[in-house]
């Protein structure tokens, strides 16, 4: 097997090259998995809303493709797609997180609670 290798194709990668490859993938995926947490914090602070994230969808796709290409340790499209698809999925999850936990939704819920509260005053209770 080693007879067929050249300077461009190695039959046996070194430990350093293998660890570098795996650490690059691990770092890239680790950064991607933090995205919903970052969106959660930003939404709770009121810096982003789910509506704003939905409007920026096409830019997010472009930036995701560039980030996937940069974070992938190799230059092939398959590795890039393995990185790109989770970025897009986590962007969608970030939109959901911003919608569920955003400041805008909490304020609206608080206003709804205030509107439904009826002041208790003198008057008949329970039909008496």
The pLDDT tens digits for 54-108 are 999 999 999 999 988 888 877 888 888 988 999 999 999 999 999 998 877 667 7
120 pLDDT band, cuts 50/70/90, is: low
CB count within 10 Å of CB 11 equals 10
Nearest Cα to Cα of residue 102 among 32, 61, 34, 52? 52
Per-residue tokens: 122:
């003198």
Measured distance CA(46)–CA(60) in Å, rounded = 20
Per-residue tokens: 85:
């698809």
Q: Which residue has the tokens 């205030």?
A: 114
* Global pTM value: 0.67
């Amino acid at each position: 097997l080693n007879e067929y290798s050249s300077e461009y194709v190695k039959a046996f990668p070194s430990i350093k090259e293998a660890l570098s490859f795996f650490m690059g993938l691990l770092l890239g995926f680790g950064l991607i998995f933090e995205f919903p947490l970052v969106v959660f914090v930003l939404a709770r602070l009121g810096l982003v809303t789910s509506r704003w994230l939905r409007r920026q969808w096409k830019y997010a796709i472009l930036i995701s493709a560039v980030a996937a290409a940069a974070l992938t340790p190799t230059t092939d499209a398959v590795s890039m797609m393995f990185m790109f698809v989770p970025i897009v999925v986590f962007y969608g999850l970030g939109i959901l997180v911003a919608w569920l936990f955003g400041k805008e939704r909490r304020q609206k819920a608080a206003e709804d609670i205030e509107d439904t509260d009826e002041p208790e005053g003198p008057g008949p209770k329970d039909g008496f």
